[in-house]
Amino acid sequence: MALESCSLKDWLISLDDSGFLVQYHDSIASKLDSVAQIVETYAKDSGEVDPQFFDDAGITKLGHRRLFQKWFRENCFVGGLWVARYKAGSAKLAR
């Protein structure tokens, strides 16, 4: 699934198969339109997520934060290039 065509809900489900992260959908959707916009706004050049994302989305649970951090580390900048590790059914960036 390409990042640009991935819905916020599908992205949240891809981060956590149990569906716990879907609870943040409305909070995220009220501020951001797409997963691409989330990456554009909150991904740091190091591949880490800006901690402001958690405040803006109302994500307080450490375990939930770690799932988002893992996704950003695995799917964002590495040496200035977007990572293209694609897994079936997940919202991964394409080169």
Residues 33-91: tens digit of each pLDDT: 999 899 889 988 778 999 999 999 999 999 999 999 999 988 886 555 554 443 333 44
Residue 91 in domain: no
Answer yes or no: is pLDDT of 7 > 60. yes
Q: Calculate mean pLDDT across residues 16-31.
A: 95
Residue 78 in domain: yes
What is the reported pTM?
0.78
Q: Is residue 44 left, alpha or beta, with left meaning phi > 0 and alpha meaning psi from -120 to 50?
A: beta
Residue 90 in domain: no
Answer yes or no: is pLDDT of 93 > 70. no
Domain containing 63 equals 3-82
pLDDT value for 86: 30
Residues 6 or more apart whose CB falls under 8 angstroms from that of 95 comprise 81, 82, 84
Number of domains in the chain: 1
Q: In whole angstroms, what is the distance from residue 18 CA to residue 56 CA?
A: 23
Residue 95 in domain: no
| Location of structure tokens 């992205």 | 11
Residue 94 in domain: no
